[in-house]
Each structure stands twice: as structure tokens, then as C-alpha cells.
Chain A
Amino acid sequence: MNKPQPFNIIFSLLGALILLFIIAPLIGMVIATSPQDIIETSKDTEVQKSIWLTVWTSICSTIFFAIAAIPLSYLLAKKSFRFKHLINGIIDLPIVIPHTAAGIAVLGFISRNSYIGKLSSNIGLDFVGHPAGIAAAMAFVSIPFLINAARDGFAKVPVKLEKAALNLGASPSRVFFTISLPLAWKSILSGLIMMFARGMSEFGAVVIIAYHPMITPVLIYERFSSFGLKYARPVAIIFIAVCLIVFIILRLLSPKISKSFYNHKEHKVLHKDRKDFMVMFIFFVTFVHSL
């Protein structure tokens, strides 16, 4: 057996400290909460509605914005045009600005006094205090994850394959749907999962636009500020459990969904590791946000 290298031991210890830093608060929270509190909180209709609202607004926001975000990712990956670097920078902007500031920016855009707000009011839709507003706030902060992942996926599709398809008489749109999209699908799926997960965990931007109806991160904050840690903790644990269940379901489903698009073995191995890491990372962020 090889003797452990000091280098590896130091790095492993440092890594263990980071893992402990993430896991310890979560375990501590679970230990500090009685099972009875969790069962009672899970029966609370306000909590149930809030979790359901959080999940479906995040799903809707991911699907709705993906329709435009995926073509944008394709353009950024495959075409050369002026201000491309600037656009790439703009896409990353929601990641770096404080989320409350992002919420204020989105509020200014969709409030009743804005052009879009007035226009939507005419058709009976008021974004402020509405799930549509929540979805917009979620999308604003989470869409960079989808665009960046999809752009990387499209960039990896060999140009030669797309040219070969054109050479075989396919139109550009057919090339997109039959070659580029299936070959980039693994990365796009990772991006969709990351966007969805990040949207679910959003608090800062959503609380500015829609305190009510309450998504779970807002509900946790509300219970904490109104009733204290004891009442906020069970909601947080249930939400974490829901996040984990969703994560496991998506993990189980994603290979099957991808398989129907793309079954290239080497590609699968290459992407699986990265996707697992990224999704795990986002879900850890979700947990921390939830607390």
C-alpha cells in the first residue's frame, strides 16, 4: 500500500473542514428540532401552500424563460457579433449584484407605474404580489446559470457536424433541432436544473416584489422574525427535505431524459461528473439560503 503523501493529507483535511462547515449547521438544525414539531409543521396548510408555490413558480419561471434563453445561448456560442463580450458580461450581472437590489430593479420594471406593469394591468395581470412577479424575480437571479451552461454545451458541439448536416440538405432550423440541441442537451439540462434550484432558493429579490403570497424562503424569514428560531426551524427542515427529494427525482430522471436526446458514451461520462458537482453545489447554496 502506498504511504499517504503529506500534500494529500493537508488537502483532505482542508476539504473536510469545508464539508463540516456546510454539513454541521444542517445536522445541528435537524438535531435541535423535535420530530413532533416537524410533523405538525408539515400539516400546516400555510407551509404546504408555500412549498407548492415555491416549486411551481420556479418550474414555470425556468420553462418560460428557457424558451428565449436557449436560443440566446446558441447565438452566444456559435455566432460572432459586435458587443458579444458585453452581452456575456450583462448575463452574469444578476449573479454579482445584491439580490435585494435585483428585486428593486425588477420591481421598477414590472410595477404598476411601469410601461410593462400598465400593459399587463390592462389584461388583468398585476406582477406585484402575484406568482408571475415571483417567477420574474426568480428568473432574474437564476437565468445566468441556464444561459452559461447552455452556451458551454452549444460551444462543445463540433461545427463540422452542423456543417455536415447543412451539406446533407438540412435547413439551419433543422440543424438546430436535430444536431445542435440534442448534442448540447446534457449541458442544457444541467442549466435547467441549476436555474430551477437557484430560483427555489431565492429570497432577496422575491421579498421586494411579492412578500405575499409567501414562497418558503420568505415564510421561513417571516416565522423567524415574528416567532423566533424555534418556529422557523421546522419549516426550513421540511423545505430542505423537499429540495432533496426534488434533487433526487431530477437526478433519476435526467439521464433518461438525456438518453432520448443524446446517448454518446464518452460525452455522458464527461458531463455526468461536472453536472453532479454543479447541481450539488447549487443545492448546498439552496440549503444555506433556506436557513
Chain B
Amino acid sequence: MLEIKNISKNLEDFNLKNLNLSVNKGDYFVLLGISGAGKTILLEIIAGITSPDSGEIFLNKKNITKQKIQKRRIGLVFQDYAVFPHLNVKNNIAYPLKNEKLSAFEKNKQILKLAEEMNITHLLNRKTTTLSGGELQRVALARTLALKPKILLLDEPLASLDIQLKNELRSLLRNINKKGQTIIHVTHDYQEVISLANKIAIINNGSIEQTGTPNEIFQHPKSQFIANFTGIKNFFKAELKNKQAIINNSIAFTLLTDKTKGKGNVLIKSQDIIISENKVESSACNNFKGIITDIIPAPLGIEIFTDIGIQLVALITTQSLKKLNLYKGKNIWISFKASCVKFF
């Protein structure tokens, strides 16, 4: 449906470099990247607000690179909503409908339908200057959907909402997508979109580093940056020798693989790592003596940062932390099974 080919844009302090993307009809496509990675500028290029220096954009096989913004029918919901302050909610939603030759009855019907979908019927006659962030977000969404966009672009739509509103809006966006609306959603928070995306692209420093399904990205991150960015703590470049992954030429992890040699990446989930005060005899092949370098509370437990020659992070419960009396600087043993080490 949408093809972005070799898009480049030079800005004063930032460049987009030869970007390529492909979005299919009905996709919930998430563009994931840190602040300043080039996400918003890419959305603006797709919407036609900013022109690329080179490259082409195809929508349904039609080259729209030079098409005027008002002709593209690609709706963009801005991060700060850009709701018109001098118009009430109803007139904001009606704004794109005025381009269409519809009767007043038809327009009202569409406004009401959208307002019902967004759960803002009670706000229709309100001034937009009196609305909360969550309400403004819904008004901006309703207004953009009134355009009947071929693609809906969302710039950090959940960034400034509290947890409850985030959940509500996530559910709303899922429903919009289920009805067949193609969505490109830009965010810096991978947790925000795990449940929404069917395709993800990681953008870093103006380039796309990896594209794939959420499973492909989270199970097989291509780089340290992607691994860290997507919440994976134990990701290492490694060389396979004799069924062992050698990291930094200093430490070897035993793993289950049918390969015998080659270079690749090693990934160990932090929840698969066991910490003990003394060496424990068990079926785990990987046992290392180390020292605790940091203890940081995480949303699902406590992250224990250890040094075993390289940094390994283990995720444990608060009860385990207390039971083992773990503290910074304490000597401990780390163990994990060979089956927990993924080499790709």
C-alpha cells in the first residue's frame, strides 16, 4: 500500500538517510525509535508537510512524492493534537467534512458517528480550550478520521496520557485498526505498542535498523541498540566454537545448537538467570562467579546487575532479594541452562 523508497532529508542538525519502508493495507505499523531518531520528520514527509531531498513515496502504486499535502488524504494526528482553539469540538470534527459535498444532515450524522466511536458525544459543544489531554486526543482522532484517511499517522499518541487513559486509547486504536484502517504509529516506548503492532521498524539516527513482526524484533534483535531499546538486557556479539558462544574472547556460554561455528548474537532473558550465594549443583551448564554491581527496581521485579567478566542482568522477585540478602558488592553465583542461551 505505502512504499517509501530511498528517502533522504538533510536538516541542520539531523539527517534521514536512504530510508526504505513498506506498509501493507490494514497494517498496524509501529515506527520505534528514541527521541530525535527521525520518526516525526518521516511522518511529516509521508503526510506531505515536509518535502524529502531525494527518494520517492508510493501510495497504492501512485507516486505521491510531489503531491500537495491537501490532496494526499493521509491523516496525521500531531503529538500535541493541533486541535483548533477557536472552534468547538463539533466544528473541529466537521473541518475536513467541509471539503466534501455532503448535506448538513449527512455531515451531522458523520460527526455524531465519530463522536460516539471516540466516546466524546457529550463534548461536542464544548470549547476545546477546556478539554483534558485525553479528550483532546480523542477530538484530534475523530477529526482526522472524518477525513477518511487512506493511512492514519499517529505521532506519539500515548506519550502524555496517564496509564488508565493509555489503556483506553490503546483499545480504541486497536478497534480502529480492526475496522481496516491502516495505521503508522510513531513512539519511543516499545511497551506501549507490543499489543498493537503487527509490524515494527526500528529507526535510529535517521536510518531504519530493523523491520519485522514484533516476534522477529524482540526474539532476534539485529543490534545491541535494538536489544537495549526493546528492553533486552543480555545481548552480546559472540563467536561460536565447539558448541560454545565465546564473548569478548573471554567468557564462554554453553548452548544448544546444531551449528558448529560462525559469528552471531547471543541473547539470554534476564528472567532465565538464577542467582545463588554458593555454587549449586544442577542441570544448568553455565555457572559463573560474579559480583553485584547494581540493584534497580523494575516494573516486574528487581534487576540485579552482575559482573562475571561481562555484565549480566538477572530479574528476580523482591522476596528473593530479601531471602538472599543481596546488596551491591556482594559475591554471588550466576547460573542458567544451555537452552536459555539463544544464538542467531
Bits for A54-84, please: 1 = Cβ < 8 Å to B, else 0: 0000000000000000000000000000000
Check A160 against B80 for contact (C-beta < 8 Å).
yes
Chain A residues whose C-beta falls within 8 Å of the C-beta of B80 in the assembled complex = 160
State which of B81-89, B169-177, B269-277, B317-325 sits at the interface with chain A: B81-89
A267 interface residue, CB < 8 Å from B? yes
CA–CA, A195 and B5, complex, Å: 53
Chain A residues whose C-beta falls within 8 Å of the C-beta of B69 in the assembled complex = 163, 166-167
- B interface residues, how many (CB within 8 angstroms): 26
Bits for A255-273, please: 1 = Cβ < 8 Å to B, else 0: 0000001111111000000
State which of A90-98, A168-176, A243-251 sits at the interface with chain B: A168-176
CA–CA, A23 and B212, complex, Å: 76
- A interface residues, how many (CB within 8 angstroms): 25
Q: Which of B132-175 contact A (CB under 8 A)?
A: 143-144, 146-147
State which of B71-79, B106-114, B187-195, B235-243 sits at the interface with chain A: B71-79
Scoring A161, A167, A169 by chain B CB atoms within 10 A of each residue's CB, the highest score goes to: A167
Bits for B85-96, please: 1 = Cβ < 8 Å to A, else 0: 110000000011
Q: Which of A154-169 contact B (CB under 8 A)?
A: 158, 160-161, 163-169
CA–CA, A84 and B216, complex, Å: 53
Check B127 against A165 for contact (C-beta < 8 Å).
no
Check A183 against B85 for contact (C-beta < 8 Å).
yes
Check B73 against A169 for contact (C-beta < 8 Å).
yes
Check A160 against B82 for contact (C-beta < 8 Å).
yes
Check A167 against B49 for contact (C-beta < 8 Å).
yes
Check A170 against B86 for contact (C-beta < 8 Å).
no
Bits for A213-236, please: 1 = Cβ < 8 Å to B, else 0: 000000000000000000000000
Chain A residues whose C-beta falls within 8 Å of the C-beta of B246 in the assembled complex = none
Bits for B31-49, please: 1 = Cβ < 8 Å to A, else 0: 0000000000000000111
B282 interface residue, CB < 8 Å from A? no
CA–CA, A201 and B249, complex, Å: 88
Chain A residues whose C-beta falls within 8 Å of the C-beta of B96 in the assembled complex = 168-170
B54 interface residue, CB < 8 Å from A? no
From A167, A174, A264, give the contact of B47 (CB < 8 A): A167
Q: Interface on chain A toward B: helix, strand, loop, or mixed SS?
A: helix
From A168, A174, A179, give the contact of B147 (CB < 8 A): A168
A182 interface residue, CB < 8 Å from B? yes
B260 interface residue, CB < 8 Å from A? no
Check A264 against B86 for contact (C-beta < 8 Å).
yes
B99 interface residue, CB < 8 Å from A? yes
B250 interface residue, CB < 8 Å from A? no
Chain B residues whose C-beta falls within 8 Å of the C-beta of A172 in the assembled complex = 70
Check B99 against A264 for contact (C-beta < 8 Å).
no
Chain A residues whose C-beta falls within 8 Å of the C-beta of B125 in the assembled complex = none
Check A182 against B86 for contact (C-beta < 8 Å).
yes
Chain B residues whose C-beta falls within 8 Å of the C-beta of A174 in the assembled complex = 98
CA–CA, A158 and B80, complex, Å: 12
Check B86 against A263 for contact (C-beta < 8 Å).
yes
Chain B residues whose C-beta falls within 8 Å of the C-beta of A160 in the assembled complex = 78, 80, 82
Chain A residues whose C-beta falls within 8 Å of the C-beta of B48 in the assembled complex = 167
B248 interface residue, CB < 8 Å from A? no
Chain B residues whose C-beta falls within 8 Å of the C-beta of A167 in the assembled complex = 47-49, 69-70, 74-76, 144
Check A165 against B86 for contact (C-beta < 8 Å).
no
Give chain A nearest CB distance to B179 CB in angstroms. Answer: 20
Q: Given the interface contacts A166-B70, A171-B70, does A264 sit within 8 Å of B85 by beta carbon?
A: yes
Q: Given the interface contacts A183-B86, A264-B86, does A168 sit within 8 Å of B144 by beta carbon?
A: yes
Give chain A nearest CB distance to B319 CB in angstroms. Answer: 50
Chain A residues whose C-beta falls within 8 Å of the C-beta of B144 in the assembled complex = 167-168
Check B129 against A265 for contact (C-beta < 8 Å).
yes
Report 16 cross-chain contacts, Cβ distance below 8 Å, ordered by A residue.
A160-B78, A160-B80, A163-B69, A163-B82, A167-B48, A167-B49, A168-B95, A168-B96, A168-B144, A168-B146, A169-B147, A170-B96, A170-B99, A174-B98, A178-B95, A182-B86
Interface residues, chain B, with chain A CB atoms under 8 Å away = 47-49, 69-71, 73-76, 78, 80, 82, 84-86, 95-96, 98-99, 127, 129, 143-144, 146-147
Q: Considering the complex of A and B, which 10 residue pairs feature the smallest CB-CB distances, nearest first?
A: A164-B82, A168-B96, A264-B85, A169-B99, A262-B86, A166-B69, A160-B82, A182-B86, A166-B70, A163-B49
